[in-house]
Structures are given as structure tokens and as C-alpha cells.
């Protein structure tokens, strides 16, 4: 065994201190954005059956959650609203006094040092569960973006710090940017769900947000999961229209897309570890088939390693607590 020519790559793995020194990717609490589901009423905290540890909550409890996030060092929340009444045109979505608008006002009044991001889409607000105005079996694009823009404006007026359109209509970023700018909100950033795939990983979210389509699917606006170049066109278009942060969604099964997007555009890039990714880990952990904390850290680290600058995750509070414990 003399003069064998090989490198001893294990040298840097023999002890934990050295491993720490050469680690390339570090998760930080400031990477995380925590999604929250707001419902009407008071003192409501109802667990989503397919998402253990995730709740629909009334505004009073949402405010408490937000304070907890600040204490844990989580910089931002992403709000989804479930209105009392849904109708054909999703009125609550652009109502000054809608569920999200009231929630944002309450949070802004009571919580300091937290970035409040609002999701803009119509599917939680329409009786048919589609992401826009429906005629026959078609989701109308231009009629919808007008209402999305109206909705974004009411969010900004309520005090939202960042607006996040998740609808995947064409031209929504331009429409939202224009209405915000025309009303003195030129400083509000847009975090666009730019490469959002038509994904079965959203299943549990539809229980949480009660926004499942009553007929048909989302394939006429969300992307085909077989496509990668198309994601580049979607991202490019959103940047041209004024997106400040671009997003890839889902995350875990789309690491190649996150990687490409980060490298081709060099934009602040968000990734959404969606409901199904969370529920799969939770379910396997409950069965004793996976170690929850370890899988949680591995999945989030992989998303960051792929190129995500920030991660929207239902694990945000759990990871933050875990990181605190590990110190």
C-alpha cells in the first residue's frame, strides 16, 4: 500500500468541530417565513387535521402568534385569509374590512419588528374555489388581475410590508406594481410566486385555507411539473414586471428549479416548503418511521443549499426553537 494516489477526504469529517468548520450551508432563523391562517371570530384556534401543529386562528390569536415569532427571532409571517362568506367574485379579498385587511391592521398595531407579508389570490375567497373570475370553465385573466391589484392595494393600505401574489395570472405583477405606485406605495416590495407549479403537494393546504376548487383544477394557470425552461420564462417576466423577490414553489421536489433560478438571475429567491412536504414529514414521524427534527433540518438545509435565500415553512417556529436548544 505505498504511493497510492488518492485524497483523504475523510480528514475533514473525523470530528464534529472540524465538520462545523467546513460546513458550507448554515440555516439561520432569519431565513424563515411563517405562514398563518386567519379566520373570523375570537379565541379560535382550530388544528388543521392534515397538518398537525398548524391552526386556523382568529385575529386575537394570530397577534399572539406574531409576538411569539418576534420572540423566537423569526423575521416574517405570511398571511392567508379564510373569509366568513365566499361568493362568485371573491368580494372579501378586496374589501377594506376583509379578514386579511383587519388582521394586518391588528398585527401592525400590536406587534413591532415583524415583516407582514400578505398572500394575494382569490381561491380562498371565491365560492367555486378558483383563483380568479370564472366564466364557464375558464378563469379570466385580465378581469382577475384587476381585482388582484385592488386586493393588493387594500393590503398595503392596511399596513402590509410585502405583497405576495400567488395566483399565477399573466400580468399580475405589473398590475399590482402599477396600482401600488399610483397610490403612494412605491416602497412596498413584491414577492412574486413566480414559478408556482400545479402540485399535489398543496393538498393539505386546501384543508387549511378551505380553497379547493369545486370543479376542474389549476393547470390552466399553474405550471406543469415536467417543465424547467418555462420556470425561467415565468421568473424573467415577473422580474421585468417589477418583482423584488421571486419564489419557487414547492421546494423539496424542485431543488433543480431553485438552483437554476438563483444562478440565472441572482435575485433574492424564496422557496416555499409547502403543506404536503410538511405533512409527509409529520405523518412519517408520527408513525415512528422518520426522526422529525433531523428530517426537518435536512430538508430545510437542502433547500438553502440549492440557492434559496429565504424559506417559507410551517416548521419555522419548531426550527427556531430547535436552533435555540442546540446552542
Residues that are catalytic: 196, 249
Report the sign of the C-alpha dihedral through residues 61, 63, 66, 71, in that order: negative
Among Zn ion, ligand PBG, none, what binds residue 62 when CB lies within 5 to 8 Å by partner kind?
none
Nearer of residues 12 and 212 to ligand PBG, judged by Cβ: 212
Among Zn ion, ligand PBG, none, what binds residue 38 when CB lies within 5 to 8 Å by partner kind?
none
Nearer of residues 111 and 117 to ligand PBG, judged by Cβ: 117
Least separation in angstroms between residue 200's CB and ligand PBG is 10
- Residue 318 contacts residue 53 (beta carbons within 8 Å): yes
Of the candidate residues 39, 77, 93, 131, the single one contacting ligand PBG (CB under 6 A): 131
Of the candidate residues 32, 55, 205, 315, the single one contacting ligand PBG (CB under 6 A): 205
Residues 221 and 229: their CA atoms lie apart, in Å, by 16
Least separation in angstroms between residue 1's CB and ligand PBG is 54
Print the SS3 string covering the chain: CCCCCCCCHHHHHCCHHHHHHHCCCCCCHHHEEEEEEEECCCCCEEEECCEEEEEEEEHHHHHHHHHHHHHHCCCEEEEEEECCCCECCCHHHHCCCCHHHHHHHHHHHHCCCCEEEEEECCCCCECCCCCCCEECCEECHHHHHHHHHHHHHHHHHHCCCEEEECCCCCCHHHHHHHHHHHCCCCCCCEEEEEEEECCHHHHHHHHHHCCCCCCCCCCCCCECCCCCHHHHHHHHHHHHHCCCEEEEECCHHHHHHHHHHHHHHCCCEEEEECHHHHHHHHHHHHCCCCCHHHHHHHHHHHHHHHCCCEEEECCHHHHHHHHHHHC
Does 93 bind ligand PBG (CB under 6 A)? Our answer is: no
Of the candidate residues 93, 158, 274, 297, the single one contacting ligand PBG (CB under 6 A): 274
Of the candidate residues 94, 202, 254, 315, the single one contacting ligand PBG (CB under 6 A): 202
Among ligand PBG, Zn ion, none, what binds residue 205 when CB lies within 5 to 8 Å by partner kind?
ligand PBG
Does 269 bind ligand PBG (CB under 6 A)? Our answer is: no
Closest residue to ligand PBG: CB criterion: 205
Question: Contact residues for Zn ion (CB under 5 A)?
Answer: 121, 123, 131
Nearer of residues 67 and 280 to ligand PBG, judged by Cβ: 280
Site string for ligand PBG, 23-62 (x = CB under 6 A): ----------------------------------------
* Residues within window 102-121 making contact with ligand PBG, judged by CB under 6 A: 119, 121
Nearer of residues 166 and 194 to ligand PBG, judged by Cβ: 166
Chain residues binding ligand PBG by CB under 6 A are 119, 121, 123, 131, 166, 202, 205, 218, 274-275
Amino acid at each position: 500500500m505505498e504511493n497510492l494516489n488518492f485524497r483523504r477526504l475523510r480528514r475533514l469529517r473525523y470530528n464534529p468541530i472540524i465538520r462545523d468548520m467546513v460546513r458550507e450551508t448554515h440555516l439561520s432563523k432569519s431565513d424563515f417565513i411563517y405562514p398563518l391562517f386567519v379566520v373570523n371570530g375570537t379565541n379560535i384556534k382550530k388544528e388543521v387535521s392534515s397538518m398537525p401543529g398548524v391552526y386556523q386562528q382568529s385575529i386575537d390569536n394570530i397577534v399572539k402568534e406574531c409576538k411569539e415569532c418576534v420572540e423566537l427571532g423569526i423575521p416574517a409571517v405570511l398571511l392567508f385569509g379564510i373569509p366568513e362568506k365566499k361568493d362568485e367574485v371573491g368580494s372579501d379579498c378586496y374589501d377594506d374590512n376583509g379578514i386579511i385587511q383587519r388582521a394586518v391592521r391588528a398585527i401592525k398595531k400590536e406587534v413591532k419588528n415583524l415583516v407582514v407579508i400578505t398572500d394575494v389570490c382569490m381561491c380562498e375567497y371565491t365560492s367555486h374555489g378558483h383563483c380568479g373570475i370564472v366564466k364557464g370553465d375558464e378563469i379570466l385573466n385580465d378581469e382577475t388581475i384587476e381585482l388582484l391589484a385592488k386586493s393588493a392595494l387594500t393590503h398595503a393600505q392596511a399596513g402590509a410590508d410585502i405583497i405576495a401574489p400567488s395566483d399565477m395570472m399573466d400580468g399580475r405583477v405589473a398590475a399590482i406594481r402599477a396600482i401600488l405606485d399610483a397610490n403612494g406605495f412605491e416602497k412596498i416590495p413584491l414577492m412574486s410566486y413566480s414559478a408556482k407549479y400545479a402540485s399535489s403537494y398543496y393538498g393539505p393546504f386546501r384543508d387549511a385555507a378551505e380553497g379547493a376548487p369545486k370543479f376542474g383544477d389549476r393547470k390552466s394557470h399553474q405550471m406543469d411539473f415536467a417543465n424547467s425552461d418555462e420556470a425561467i420564462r415565468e421568473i424573467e417576466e415577473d422580474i421585468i414586471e417589477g418583482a423584488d423577490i421571486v419564489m419557487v414553489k414547492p421546494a423539496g421536489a424542485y431543488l433543480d428549479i431553485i438552483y437554476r433560478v438563483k444562478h440565472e438571475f441572482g435575485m433574492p429567491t424564496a422557496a416555499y416548503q409547502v403543506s404536503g412536504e410538511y405533512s409527509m414529514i409529520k405523518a412519517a414521524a408520527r408513525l415512528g418511521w422518520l426522526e422529525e427534527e433531523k428530517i426537518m433540518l435536512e430538508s430545510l438545509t437542502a433547500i438553502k443549499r440549492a440557492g434559496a435565500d429565504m424559506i417559507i415553512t410551517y416548521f419555522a417556529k419548531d426550527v427556531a426553537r430547535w436552533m435555540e436548544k442546540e446552542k
